[in-house]
Structure 1
Amino acid sequence: MYLLCIVLGLLSILIMCGNLLVITSIIYFRQLHSPTNYLILSLAVADLLVGVLLLPLSIVSVNICGHLQNVICKLRSCLDMILCICSILNLCSISVDRYYAVCQPLKYRTKVNIHVIVIMILVSWTVSALNGITITVLGVNTGKSNKRCVLFRNVSLAIMGIVLGFFLPAIIMSMIYVKILTEAQKQTRSIQNTTCQLTKTERKMERKATKTLAIIMGVFLICWTPFFLSVAFNPLSHYTIPGPLLEAFKWLGWSNSMLNPFVYGFFYSWFRSAFRMILSGKIFQADLTNTKLH
């Protein structure tokens, strides 16, 4: 019990620190004020809330019992659904952003502007909140036999919620990225003979950003697919999946909120520069908002 609390506590701290770096970088440095980065900001906020709210609630839920445990179970499950669905909807929005940036670059600035991005973010959070609250109210129960917090006792609700909230968006995102990567390969071949260095540089940066964000999506799917598959299969198998295995899959999903900042730092040189300036305290010594990040 104590080991579990320590592990969740450390994971919570890592999630908070990593995503605070991402959020601070995007808000502080003007170079990072772009439509794509605003979507990344929304994703980082969802990840941050996993560390700030969800994991502490999980720690509390394993140390109490009775009626309060049932209340915390429902609250934790509601937040879990909201933040997970919000993350995948933000990733869907990012895939749409990348589609226009790579496949229709001439229309990108007119189709994807700040107003459109704000609408995307608001829709993602609103739909997530409505789905999370509805599914939790209809589907959450506290297991009486083992005192575990069990989601989706209703089989049809489980399948509908998981297919619409996770697998369908995941399939759509995958199809979009396949289209994007195919188009990027065509563009690579078409500009090999061009003499316009600016065009080459811009296309190279867009392709790199797209591949990096595709990796973010891939990491998300790797972390969350085992949990959603097990949750969907569990009612069909009369709840034969061991509780510890479900919890392990849940922790794997939560760990995604910790991994995203590392992916940004590893693949984006400008995020690495921003992280270094923040961690070294330079942003508190001078106004570096207009600093050119490399």
Structure 2
Amino acid sequence: MEDQDGAEICFPQLLNASCRKPNLSQTKDGLLYFLLYFIFSVFTVALNLLVIISLHTPTNLLILSLAVSDFLFGLVITPLRAHVLTNCWFLGDLICSLYIYVSSIILGASIGNMILISVDRYVAICEPLHYPTRVTVTRVKMCVCMCWTCSVVYNGLILKDFLTEPGRYRPCYGRCAGGADDISGIIDNVLSSLAPVAVIVILYMRVFVTAVAQARAMRSHVAAVTHQPSGNIMTKKSELKAARTLGVVVVVYLICFCPFFSCAFVPDTADGDLYNIGFMLLHISPCLNPVIYALFYPWFRKAIRLIFSLQILQPGSCETNML
């Protein structure tokens, strides 16, 4: 019996202090989860690398920043999540604290990028006359840098105790678990989930209402004239299409994002089925974004053809017109 109990815990030599092995360890379900996370990781890294290679313009800088956070998500978070889910944690408390800190930075930057994309589309659709002066390449670069810097600083403050004292919130040896005190946890739940979702939803509701009104106005204008649509109308159509595409990205992100973060407000869900399903949806989102770009953006499909045909290696390829 002792040998059997020892085989079911992570550190048999620490019988009273060791965690039990994860329920998914050495089971068919565990192997399935591991394979799924491996597939998510490979596709997320590969597809977002294609996006990173392809991009330029203010809106695309935001997409580039989102692609970088998605790329890092697939490269860092997904593989280690598969390890945590199906194995005991043998990498030590320091690596655990760094893993949770880096994961929090990447998630925070991803949420920040979604807010910036929503703001960008809000200004482009709701205040189009001010867009060229308010949304410049320099300002977008500054906003992206601030997004990543704020994520680094904010998560450093929230996880300060955990980083200075690795293993503080570890329930037993063999598990990687982060945490914060009650007040910090409540603040973090509000600032990292409720507030961003509220801002994104409000901005895109305004964008949707304005976009519908503009689309009706354009149809009426085109029906009233016999000649080809003016350049101004074509520009509006382009902005509406960009808003629609990025709106799909935002909606898909929220669908994948909300179940995981809702677990923070439901007691006793940590490591449960709801938590695992929510975490898996969170890992699907970075993999879906490049697929959405491929479906809606002709320039991205053209960029993929240039990359896979190796024309990107030819001199002057950076000057290729992607539109």
Band the TM-score falls in, shorter-chain normalisation: 0.7 to 0.9
Distance 2:269 2:299 in 1: 47
What corresponds to 2:10 in structure 1? none
RMSD between superposed Cα atoms in Å: 2.3
Contact 1:159-1:232 within 8 A present in 2 as well: no
Distance 2:277 2:236 in 1: 41
Unpaired segments ≥5 residues, structure 1:
27-32
Report how far residue 101 of structure 1 moved.
1.2
**1:9-33 Cα shifts (integer Å, max 9, x gaps):** 222111110000000011xxxxxx2
Alignment TM-score, normalising by the size of structure 1:
0.87
Letter of the 1:181 partner, please give it: F
* Selected match of 2:48 from 5, 15, 19: 19
Distance 2:269 2:297 in 1: 43
What corresponds to 1:99 in structure 2? 122
* Selected match of 2:155 from 105, 120, 132: 132
Contact 1:95-1:176 within 8 A present in 2 as well: yes
Q: Percent sequence identity over matched residues?
A: 33
1:74 aligns with 2:89: no
Higher Cα Rg: structure 1 or 2? 2
Distance 1:267 1:95 in 2: 18
1:47 aligns with 2:70: yes
What corresponds to 1:143 in structure 2? 171
What corresponds to 2:214 in structure 1? 187
Matches within 5 A, 1:86-235: 86-138=109-161, 141-144=169-172, 147-152=174-179, 154-191=181-218, 192-193=220-221, 195=225, 196-233=229-266
Distance 1:286 1:109 in 2: 32
Distance 1:64 1:186 in 2: 55
Report how far residue 180 of structure 1 moved.
1.3
1:8 aligns with 2:37: yes
Contact 2:54-2:303 within 8 A present in 1 as well: yes
**1:69-107 Cα shifts (integer Å, max 9, x gaps):** 333322222122111111111111111111221122221
Task: Identify the range of structure 1 (222-231 vs 49-58) with the bigger mean alpha-carbon deviation.
Answer: 49-58
Unpaired segments ≥5 residues, structure 2:
1-24, 163-167
Contact 1:23-1:45 within 8 A present in 2 as well: yes
Alignment TM-score, normalising by the size of structure 2:
0.80
**1:167-197 Cα shifts (integer Å, max 9, x gaps):** 2011111111111121122222333225542
